[in-house]
């Protein structure tokens, strides 16, 4: 049976008594059986190693010629020369018991006969036969059911296990342990066990994780902080390779509530885990308590509760567990949920009470114990898919609010929306939390609503959500109403608020105008800065077919494109469908939440925007009356009398400033003048406005009728010691208009004696000389006029019709009384119609 062939064997058949003998030839066939078939150059069999089990059960490995019956004197593979072409090595466990090498230049017969010095090699079931072949991919095979199969798996080696039933191909599987970390309470069920090994090799070559699987051969114990080992089995997916290794692992705290008792021993370790299916569980473990399980939690507290665990789903308590001071540590830990992990859900809150919370109630964060009781007896933790998150149990009360139409929450301190904010039951300062809006504030409509808010501690550990009621009021608003006489229905509203210390106007809905109804009147607003004759921009109602929502949207678009400032003025007016101004009857303004119509009778309402709201200006409310003036008045004279042409009586903040356009006084008739007035604003500036005033220009000489002396006589004698006097004269207004009387000019017409005229203010002469001080004394008005050529034009009286002013000439003469002295004077009067 040294090579594959069909032969015959001669057999002799003899009876047991020896009397009968028969010889015959029996054909037989030699097959491969359980043979390692190694080929060389030309596919010649260069080694055939067959496993044979004899009748006594003894296993031997035989070296045979296989199917090489005629090429036994060739070289195995001359191209490989002295290099090893193939080798056979037998292992008992990890011990090599036999090794045989064949070089490329060996003769095939020598290679085959040289195995174990030409003798079968004894082997045992369980031995491993390692075969090296330089051309293993095509020339190293195992005969299975007379068919050659390659089991090198892409390497230079193949491995076979010796069994009583033949050689079994295996993969030589090797792996290194990858030390692991588990958290308290964690199960290996959720762990990818392939993470427990690394550098997995089949026949010496590292393979992909898809080619093997890992299973546990011992239990992973995560009930105690410790370092241990777990036995794992690595098996190729085809089952041909198996290895067992020990993997070290460390149990850490993970996400654990660590509760300590007397002598700071662990009396409760509550660890959150997440299974592979996403289920969250709270496990009660021993933490780092190895040796004190039968001592009491804290004997000083006796039967009083030393700590408790309570689980909440929203505001509903779903589980509660209490531990008294005299409970043993073992019972405290094992008694939680009857010794079973407690299923919890993401979002659940775990409330922990501890009688000594400041030092003995902690959460393990990155293996470091952190205290989150914040000075109270309680700590709170939120269950998440990623572990326990410390939180502050935040509570707050809603503080109902009032907003004005158009007001934004941006300018409001949102902390005003809450009150009595508590962390773990203790009221905290406003600096320890912040408030955020979770829904939109709607201040477009009068009424009561609610807004959702979130209160969050500044460190993010506490969150609570509230609903805050709020009321929207008129605030500072101007309202346009329906044109119908008996209707106060709102058509449009402009609401004034503040944003970034600047005024902000918003077109709002007011008290509930149907957004999609056509407007029932045509309001418009025009905006000014200082000069009320120069508009900056306007809000218009183009037609009455537009709906209220579109009107508001159009107005707000314009407002967003134009900046406003305090002190800006807007005019507001409302027209009916025929274009008639409704004269303030449909214009209202909110004052103390009451709608007031304060400009009835006026086509426009002018409002100054101030930080306190709309300030009504009266600048357009002066009464214009036709003025009568005399022809020939100059612009200077008109300007001097301007305040008499436009009365501001009753308007303390308004005064007349100047003519923008003077009336034509060059001829009698009618003419318009334009007068500018100015009103002081509440914000400190001014606003100007122009009035057109009609004037009637009349010829003034037609109104003047006056009685006046044509000649005035005066004098003195030595008897009077130089005292000059005259008769009492008078001037009478015989006309129908008030008369202004002025001494316009004084001229000397005769002074042959060279009399020197002195003014009243001049010093009297110290010696006698031909000089005199002369003056007219208008007694009615108590006005003195020096008779002196350079005396300026001087008003001496204003007379109503039929009124007189009396006057005389008086003075002092300082010359020689023996000499007659004469002087002649021409006194020119001016008579004007007084305004």
pLDDT in tens, 512-549: 766 677 888 899 999 999 999 999 999 999 888 888 88
Residue 71 CA to residue 330 CA, distance in Å, equals: 80
Work out the number of other CB atoms within 10 angstroms of the CB of residue 552: 22
Q: Are residues 491 and 631 both part of a single domain?
A: no
| Residue that has been written with the tokens 């460390």 in this structure | 250
Q: What is the DSSP letter of 729?
A: E
- Whether residue 192 is predicted with pLDDT greater than 80 in this model: the reply is yes
> Poorest-confidence range of 141-145, 205-209, 445-449, 512-516?
512-516
Q: Does 373 lie in the same domain as 320? A: yes
Contact 331, 296 (CB under 8 A): no
Residue 101 lies in a domain: yes
Residue 704: name the closest of 738, 670, 743 by CA: 738
Helix H or strand E segment including 747? strand 739-750
Task: Return the exposure string of 492-530: e unless at least 16 CB atoms fall within 10 Å of the residue's CB, then b.
Answer: bbbbbbeeeeebbbbbbbbbebeeeeebbbbbbbbbbee
Per-residue pLDDT tens digits for 577-634: 889 999 999 999 999 999 999 999 999 999 999 999 999 999 999 999 999 998 889 9
Q: How many domains does the chain have?
A: 7
- Among 319-328, 357-366, 700-709, the range scoring the smallest mean pLDDT is 700-709
Q: Verify that 221 and 338 share a domain, yes or no.
A: no
Task: Answer yes or no: do 687 and 764 share one domain.
Answer: no
Mean pLDDT, residues 119-140 taken together? 95
Same domain assignment for residues 179 and 165: no
CA distance 240 to 213: 12
* Residues 682 and 730 grouped into a single domain: no
Helix or strand (DSSP H, E) at 419: strand 418-423
Q: In the predicted model, is pLDDT for residue 241 greater than 90?
A: no
CA distances from 544 to 218, 483, 519, 582, 588 (A): 87, 11, 6, 15, 20
pLDDT at residue 748 is higher than 70: yes
818, pLDDT greater than 80: no
Residue 505 belongs to a domain = yes
Same domain, 241 and 272: no
Among 246-255, 287-296, 337-346, 597-606, name the one with the lowest average pLDDT: 287-296
Residue range 399-420: mean pLDDT, rounded? 93
Residue 210 lies in a domain: yes
Say whether both 261 and 353 belong to one domain. Answer: yes
pLDDT, one tens digit per residue, over 269-279 is: 999 999 988 99
Are residue 231 and residue 351 in the same domain, yes or no? no
| pLDDT recorded at residue 2 | 77
- pLDDT, averaged across the chain: 93
* Pair 290, 311: CB distance under 8 Å: no
pLDDT for res 7: 84
DSSP sequence for 9-68: EEEEEE-TTSS-EEEEEEEEEE---SEEEEE-GGG-EEEEEEEEE-TT--EEEEEE-BT-
Give residue-wise pLDDT tens across range 137-151.
999 999 989 999 999
pLDDT at 518: 81
How is residue 482 written in tokens?
């329906």
The answer to whether 441 touches 422, Cβ cutoff 8 Å, is no
The conformation of residue 407, written as its DSSP 8-state character, comes to -
Pairing of strands 686-698, 627-630: parallel
Q: Which residue has the higher pLDDT, 291 or 797?
A: 797
Residues 239, 284 within the same domain: no
Among 650, 674, 701, where does a domain finish? 701
Start-to-end C-alpha separation, the chain: 158
What percent of the chain is predicted at pLDDT more than 90? 76
Report yes or no on 622 lying in a domain.
Answer: no
Identify the pLDDT of residue 17. 85
Cα-based angle 808, 809, 815 (whole degrees, multiple of 5)? 155
Say if CB 660 and CB 693 are below 8 A apart: no
How much is the average pLDDT of 230-256?
93
Task: For residues 659 and 640, give the distance between their C-alpha atoms in angstroms, rounded to a whole number.
Answer: 11
Q: Of 375, 498, 366, 371, which is closest to residue 427 (Cα–Cα)?
A: 375
Q: Which of 588, 617, 646 is the last residue of a domain?
A: 617
Percentage with pLDDT > 70 across the chain = 99
Between the alpha carbon of residue 397 and those of residues 420, 437, 455, 762, the distances in Å are: 6, 15, 10, 91
| Euclidean distance between CA atoms 616 and 595, whole angstroms | 14
Domain contains 486: yes
One domain for residues 493 and 431:
no
Task: Give the DSSP letter string of 453-485.
Answer: EEEEETTSS-EEEEEEEEEEE--SEEEEE-SST
Question: E strand or H helix at 329, and its extent?
Answer: helix 329-334
Q: Does any domain span residue 367?
A: yes
User: Are both 307 and 215 inside the same structural domain?
Assistant: no
User: Whole domain around residue 685: which residue ranges?
Assistant: 627-701
Range list of β-strands (E), 512-647: 522-528, 537-539, 569-575, 587-591, 594-596, 605-610, 613-617, 627-630
> pLDDT tens digits, residue range 635-681?
999 999 999 999 999 999 999 999 999 999 999 899 999 999 999 99
CATH number of the domain that residue 692 is part of: 2.60.40
Whole-number Å distance between alpha carbons of 46 and 236: 31
Q: What is the pLDDT of residue 514?
A: 65
**Sign of the alpha-carbon torsion through 633, 636, 637, 640:** positive
Of 53-57, 135-139, 442-446, 724-728, the range with the lowest mean pLDDT is 53-57
Q: Which of 343, 362, 391 is the last residue of a domain?
A: 391
At residue 835, does pLDDT exceed 70?
Answer: no
pLDDT in tens, 153-181: 888 999 999 999 999 998 888 999 999 99
353 within some domain: yes
Kindly provide the residue ranges of all beta strands, DSSP E only, lying in 592-685, ordered along the sequence: 594-596, 605-610, 613-617, 627-630, 654-661, 669-680
């Amino acid at each position: 049976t040294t090579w594959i062939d069909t032969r015959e064997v001669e057999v002799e058949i003899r009876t047991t008594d020896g009397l009968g003998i028969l010889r015959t030839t029996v054909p037989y066939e030699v097959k491969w059986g359980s043979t390692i078939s190694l080929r060389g150059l030309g596919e010649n069999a260069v080694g055939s190693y067959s496993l044979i089990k004899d009748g006594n059960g003894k296993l031997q490995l035989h070296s045979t010629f296989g199917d090489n019956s005629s090429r036994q004197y060739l070289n195995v593979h001359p191209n490989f020369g002295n290099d090893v072409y193939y080798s056979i090595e037998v292992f008992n466990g990890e011990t090599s018991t036999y090794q045989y090498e064949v070089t490329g230049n060996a003769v095939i017969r020598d290679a085959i006969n040289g195995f174990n010095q030409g003798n079968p090699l004894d082997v045992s079931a369980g031995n491993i036969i390692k075969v090296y072949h330089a051309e293993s991919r095509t020339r190293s095979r195992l005969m299975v059911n007379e068919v050659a199969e390659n089991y090198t798996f892409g390497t230079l080696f193949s491995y076979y296990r010796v069994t009583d039933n033949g050689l079994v191909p295996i993969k030589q599987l090797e792996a290194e342990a990858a030390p692991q970390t588990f958290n308290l309470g964690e199960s290996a069920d959720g762990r990818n066990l392939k993470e427990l090994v690394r550098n997995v090799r089949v026949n010496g070559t590292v393979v992909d994780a898809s080619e093997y699987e890992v299973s546990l051969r011992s239990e992973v114990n995560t009930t105690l902080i410790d370092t241990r080992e777990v036995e794992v089995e690595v098996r190729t997916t085809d089952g041909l390779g198996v290895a067992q290794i020990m993997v070290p692992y460390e149990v850490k705290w993970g996400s654990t509530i660590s509760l300590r008792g007397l002598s700071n021993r662990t009396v409760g370790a509550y660890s959150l885990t997440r299974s592979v299916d996403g289920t969250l569980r709270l496990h009660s473990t021993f933490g780092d308590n190895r040796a004190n399980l039968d001592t009491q939690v804290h004997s000083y507290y006796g039967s009083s509760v030393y700590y408790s665990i309570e689980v909440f789903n929203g505001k509903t308590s779903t589980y509660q567990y209490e531990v008294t001071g005299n409970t043993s540590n073992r019972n405290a830990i094992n008694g939680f949920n009857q010794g079973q992990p407690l299923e919890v859900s993401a979002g659940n809150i775990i409330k922990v009470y501890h009688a000594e919370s400041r030092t003995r109630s902690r959460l393990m964060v990155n293996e470091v114990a952190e205290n989150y009781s914040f000075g109270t007896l309680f700590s709170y933790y939120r269950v998440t898919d990623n572990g326990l998150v410390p939180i502050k149990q935040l509570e707050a009360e809603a503080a109902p609010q009032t907003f004005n139409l158009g007001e934004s929450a941006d300018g409001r301190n949102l902390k005003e929306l809450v009150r009595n904010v508590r962390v773990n039951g203790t009221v905290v300062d406003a600096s320890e939390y912040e408030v955020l809006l979770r829904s939109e504030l709607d201040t477009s409509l009068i009424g009561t609503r609610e807004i959702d808010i979130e209160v969050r501690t500044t460190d993010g550990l506490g969150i609570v959500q509230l609903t805050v009621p709020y009321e929207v009021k008129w605030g500072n608003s101007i309202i346009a109403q329906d044109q119908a006489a008996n209707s106060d229905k709102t058509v449009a509203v402009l609401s004034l608020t503040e944003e970034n210390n600047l005024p902000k106007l918003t077109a709002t809905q007011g008290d509930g105008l149907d957004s999609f109804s056509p407007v029932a009147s045509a309001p418009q607003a025009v905006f000014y800065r200082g000069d009320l004759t120069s508009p900056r921009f306007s809000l218009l109602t183009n037609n009455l077919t537009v709906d209220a929502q579109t009107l508001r949207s159009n107005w707000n678009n314009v407002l967003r494109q134009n900046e406003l400032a305090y002190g800006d003025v807007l005019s507001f007016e409302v027209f009916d469908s025929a274009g008639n101004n409704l004269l303030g009857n449909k214009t209202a303004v909110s004052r103390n939440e009451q709608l007031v119509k304060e400009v009835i009778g006026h086509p426009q309402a002018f409002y100054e925007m101030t930080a306190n709201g709309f300030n009504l200006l009266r600048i357009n409310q002066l009464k214009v009356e036709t003025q009568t003036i005399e022809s020939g008045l100059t612009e200077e004279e008109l300007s001097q009398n301007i305040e008499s042409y436009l009365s501001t009586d009753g308007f303390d903040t308004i005064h007349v400033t100047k003519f923008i356009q003077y009336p034509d006084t060059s001829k009698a008739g009618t003419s318009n003048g334009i007068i500018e007035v100015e009103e002081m604003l509440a914000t400190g500036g001014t606003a100007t406005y122009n009035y057109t005033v009609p004037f009637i220009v009349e010829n003034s000489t037609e109104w003047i009728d006056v009685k006046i002396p044509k000649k005035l006589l005066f004098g003195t004698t030595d008897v009077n010691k130089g005292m000059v006097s005259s008769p009492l004269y008078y001037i009478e207004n015989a006309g129908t208009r008030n008369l202004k009387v002025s001494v316009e000019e004084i001229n000397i017409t005769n002074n042959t004696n060279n009399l020197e005229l002195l003014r009243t203010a001049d010093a009297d002469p110290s010696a006698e000389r031909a000089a005199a001080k002369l003056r007219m004394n208008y007694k009615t008005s108590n006005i003195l006029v020096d008779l002196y050529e350079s005396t300026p034009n001087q008003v001496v009286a204003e007379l109503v019709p039929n009124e007189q002013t009396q006057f005389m000439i008086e003075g002092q003469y300082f010359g020689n009384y023996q000499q007659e002295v004469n002087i002649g004077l021409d006194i020119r009067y001016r008579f004007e119609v007084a305004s």
